[in-house]
Amino acid sequence: MKKIARSEVNVGSLLESGFAFNYDDLTLVPRVVSTLQHRADARPEIRLGPFQLALPLIGSPMPDVCGEKMCQVLSHEGALGILHRFQSIESQQHEFELVHYQDDSENSVVGAAIGITGDYRERFQALYASGCRLFCLDTANGAHLQVKQAMGWIRGQASDVFLLAGNVASAEAFSALEEWGADAIRVGIAGGSVCETRSETGVFLPTPYAVAEAAIVRKRALIIGDSGVRTPADFCKLLALGADAVMVGSALAGTKEAPGHIIAMDGKKYKAMRGAASFSVQQQSGNASPGYVEGTETLVPYRDTVTAVLHRYLAGLQSSMSYMNACTLDEYRHNVAFMLLL
């Protein structure tokens, strides 16, 4: 059984420990008396560019996670969906418009992913013309010159867009993207359930540790914790460590709103879950014969609706905040104490 190391009480000392801690190595400790009457008094709202989110959760732009239906529900529940780019420009533009204009009274909360090579310029222009103002530059290695060049080109086209870039897994890479002009940065590499970067390349840093590094050096860009979130507890830990919002994929996959058909096997129901660098997704993106695969494909149990998942994550976060006597996320981070489980 792991023991608690009582000396680790803040993010700085956690990093100084030299131990690259992961989700299960870390616990949150309440050291304050709570005055909240109910967990609903906790309001984890954030401002993300043009959007106000009631739930700091972002649906990952994966082909089996964020399609039109998923983005619609995420918007309705106060979260954010980012439409995946593994489809034609026309298809992505059409799906964006269906989500963006679903409510006659106001535009819905939704963003769109584009690449940094190939058709990204045409894709950006089409989506921008349809009203998109939040773009995710979706690539495995965010600390790359091509990301800088893509951001520079986009800024030259429009001054009113919010750019989410990444992924990165170190303080140095985070600072580089921040200097290049990213408004928000995805932090986390190789921690996802369908990512094989760690086993194929040796590149990996636990997302909680990477988020803590980014929080120490961050000057202005928002931190989006991204990779390996399995439960509301993981979600809470990233926010407590300094993430402004958390991107999730597998937690949303398998629900009724996720893209893809239901697969029946041995009397049970499943949906597909594929990594962005998996064989079939590369084929779907136009690469008929992928020469290198860095993502896997699996089946996840079918769940009825994503609304139940979102409500669980919100309730878990609000309850965690109530333990820390926190009405806001700023208060949450100020009041929380950390300990390592060694």
Q: What is the pLDDT of residue 175?
A: 98
Q: What is the pLDDT of residue 275?
A: 57
pLDDT at residue 166 tops 50: yes
Q: What is the pLDDT of residue 2?
A: 60
> How far is CA 302 from each of CA 82, 111, 192, 251, 270, rounded to the nearest angstrom?
21, 25, 19, 11, 5
Is 132 an annotated catalytic residue? Answer: no
pLDDT at residue 215 tops 90: yes
> How far is CA 60 from each of CA 44, 52, 63, 340, rounded to the nearest angstrom?
20, 18, 9, 28
Grade residue 271 by pLDDT with cuts at 50, 70 and 90: confident
Q: What is the pLDDT of residue 104?
A: 62
Per-chain mean pLDDT for the chain: 89
Grade residue 202 by pLDDT with cuts at 50, 70 and 90: confident
Tokens 């064989």 belong to 279
The rounded distance, in Å, linking the Cα atoms of 196 and 200 is 6
Backbone angles phi, psi at 338, to 5 degrees: -115, 150
Do residues 169 and 198 make contact, with C-beta atoms less than 8 angstroms apart?
no
pTM greater than 0.85 (yes/no): yes
Q: What is the pLDDT of residue 278?
A: 44
Please say whether the dihedral angle defined by the alpha carbons of residues 197, 199, 200 and 203, taken in this order, is positive or negative. Answer: positive
Residue 333's H or E segment, with its range, is helix 329-335
Tokens 């780019």 belong to 85
Q: What is the pLDDT of residue 171?
A: 96
Q: How many Cα atoms sit within 13 Å of 247 on the Cβ side?
A: 32
Interval 2-39: pLDDT, tens? 655 544 457 787 788 778 999 999 999 999 999 999 99
Tokens 């894709």 belong to 123
Interval 275-331: pLDDT, tens? 555 445 445 555 555 554 455 677 888 888 999 999 999 999 999 999 999 999 999
Average pLDDT in the 95-107 region?
Answer: 83
User: Which among 251, 314, 232, 324 is positioned nearest to 53, based on CA atoms?
Assistant: 314
In this structure, are strands 336-341 and 4-5 parallel, antiparallel, or unpaired? Answer: antiparallel
Average pLDDT in the 136-160 region?
Answer: 97
Backbone Cα Rg of the chain: 19
Catalytic residue among 66, 71, 136, 195: 195
Average pLDDT in the 46-68 region?
Answer: 96
* Residue-range domains of the chain with CATH: 4-341 (3.20.20.70)
pLDDT at residue 1 tops 60: no
User: Which among 56, 83, 57 is positioned nearest to 258, based on CA atoms?
Assistant: 83
